[in-house]
Structure 1
Amino acid sequence: MIDLYSWSTPNGRKISIALEELNLGYTLHPVDISKGEQFSAEFLAMNPNNKIPVIRDSDGVDGHPVTLFESGAILVYLADKARRLLPVAGRARYETIQWLMFQMGGVGPMFGQTHHFQRYAAHEKYSLERYTTETHRLYKVLDGQLAKNEFVGGDAYSIADIAIYPWVARFGLHQIDLASVPHVKRWYDTLGERPAVQRGMEVL
């Protein structure tokens, strides 16, 4: 059984979506980051970086329990465990991981900064413009990839799609009309119809 320690953020929702898609049984443990629960001694023992999500898998590697933090690492672990949503070898595996890293290194940090300045510091015009401009650039990169492929990593739905979807779901904070990135909109609407995505988004 997998224990999921999470909250209703894009990074948290990546993991609940993946667990639903992979049909892996799990128990949810809400960690209310608005109340600072991520700084508790119990949580820090699992993740010294005090960030959600974290998983504990009692049936881990080689029969031993596994505790993991960092959402990208968790997605790879879960996909490998279920042998789905990430090719086990070859070019397609590395192309999927490439776009997962695009989310981890670009979409997450830049969209997250845009969220912060839109919500809490909109008066800081330089910072807001800087991060919004970069967010829009990343949408264009994503749109270009999806113009050539049905899904982010290629022809198959994968953890790369799962990683990016919850961030795009907050497009209202990004000052972007999805009609301006039509391939992203097509992809976003398609994923939004998946029952597992809907369940994963509604866990918290």
Structure 2
Amino acid sequence: MTMVRRESLAERAAELLITRIRGGEWEIGGKLPGETTLAPQLGVGRSTAREAIRILAGRGILATRQGSGVFVTATDIPESWDALLERADIVAVIEARTAIEVEAASLAAERHTFAELKALRAALDEREQHRSGIGEHVETDMAFHRAIIVAAQSPVLLELFNSFAPRSRQAMTDMLRLRGHHGDDVDQGVHERIYDAIASHDVEAAAGLTRAHLQALKELLN
């Protein structure tokens, strides 16, 4: 029972603190007073004030700097990654894909191993075999592009791609439905050329072909 009350009290203290921050009492970059001063102002004990600070730090409002104190980093709770992706339109998704995949294609051309190239070839062949249904086409297309990210050997790009994948999958499905057709020979040929550029270690061609492909998708929506 005590733990529940303390958590509830800390939440209330956090809400009071963020109200004061939004009211302009501390600007972004401003330093909060120490716990000894802040706790009485919030009407709580030091441990509860400390917990309130932790809550707001977890929400991106405050930041604790060892040996310096607690500072305001935002006045509003940042939108979660999932919420941001959920409301992103198809064009925004393609723009994000461009930022991730153009660099990945360049790095894949430079760094790929024999095993990674073999996996990329297999993904491309799988894409060729599943061009009829939208769902299968999108899945095999994403598998091909993910294989490029893997071949880039960049853990951060791979993490971005993986976290972005569900929204990207839905956006591409929606786009293909709007477009009315998918998986034609021209489209498959573009992916073949991207593969060839990566296989031949042509960094500029791999990046350029990927950018042109995604730009063409974007222009279809205009």
TM-score normalised per structure 1: 0.25
Query: Which structure has more helix as a fraction of its residues?
Result: 2
TM-score, normalised via structure 2 length: 0.24
Name the structure where strand makes up a greater proportion of residues: 1
